[in-house]
């Protein structure tokens, strides 16, 4: 029996779930729990659906993240969804994990968000996993973005779903 490969995963990057109300979620995590909202990205998924996701930072730099879809009135989200678990790694480990997943017959998807590159897959239990490589300059990117996170969320809640991520092609 050969030894299993070892992946070097540095930390939890984020854990994400769907929310039906971003503002109520922000109040709970920021004002009640005390986690700062450090990002609010308004984007478009590869299939064209617009969404907003907010990041609430935990002590190690990881985050708890919530998605709200623009079409959730017509397509209600499954709030019992397990969301997904994102683990931060470097590009070498991400490539090795991708190769092992594909060799084992698992479907993968790679998305360049601009501020990070994410490798997505589902485990045998249908748990969605993400292996994330932060942009080399992610600290500067977040320093530029974070001061506007609350304004971006207010815009989203008021119906302005214009994309605010100029770091990637949409």
Render pLDDT for 113-161 as a digit per residue (tens, 0 to 9).
988 999 998 876 676 888 899 999 988 988 888 899 999 999 999 999 9
Q: How high is the pLDDT of residue 7?
A: 76
Average pLDDT along the chain: 86
Nearest one of 158, 168, 165 to 55, comparing CA atoms: 165
Q: What is the mean pLDDT of residues 10-36?
A: 85
Torsion-angle region of residue 8: left (phi > 0), alpha (psi -120 to 50) or beta? beta
> Residue 87's beta-bridge partner residues?
12, 131
Among 8-22, 41-55, 89-103, whose mean pLDDT is lowest?
8-22
pLDDT band at 28 (very low <50, low <70, confident <90, very high): confident
Contact criterion met (CB below 8 Å) for 103 and 21: no
Contact criterion met (CB below 8 Å) for 50 and 160: no
Which domains can be identified in the chain, with CATH numbers? 11-157 (3.10.180.10)
Among 24-33, 35-44, 54-63, whose mean pLDDT is lowest?
24-33
pTM of the model: 0.67
Q: How high is the pLDDT of residue 79?
A: 61
Q: How high is the pLDDT of residue 51?
A: 92
Look at the alpha carbons of 79, 150, 14, 128 in this order and tell me if their dihedral is positive or negative: positive
11-18 and 63-69: which strand pairing? Answer: parallel
Question: Is pLDDT of 82 > 60?
Answer: yes
Q: How high is the pLDDT of residue 160?
A: 93
Question: Is pLDDT of 83 > 90?
Answer: no
């Amino acid at each position: 029996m050969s030894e299993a490969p070892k992946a070097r995963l540095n930390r939890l990057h984020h854990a994400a779930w769907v929310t039906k109300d971003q503002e109520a979620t922000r109040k709970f995590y920021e004002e009640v729990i005390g986690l700062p909202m450090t990002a609010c990205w308004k984007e478009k998924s590869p299939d064209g659906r617009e969404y907003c996701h907010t990041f609430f930072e935990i002590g190690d730099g990881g985050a708890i993240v919530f998605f709200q879809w623009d079409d959730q009135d017509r397509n209600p989200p499954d709030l019992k969804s397990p969301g997904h678990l994102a683990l931060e790694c470097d590009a070498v480990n991400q490539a090795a994990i991708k190769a092992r997943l594909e060799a084992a017959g698992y479907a993968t998807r790679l998305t360049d968000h601009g501020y990070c590159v994410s490798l997505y897959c589902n485990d045998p239990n249908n748990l969605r996993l993400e292996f994330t490589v932060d942009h080399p300059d992610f600290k500067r990117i977040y320093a530029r973005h974070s001061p506007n996170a609350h304004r971006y969320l207010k815009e989203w809640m008021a119906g302005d779903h214009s994309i605010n991520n100029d770091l990637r092609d949409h």
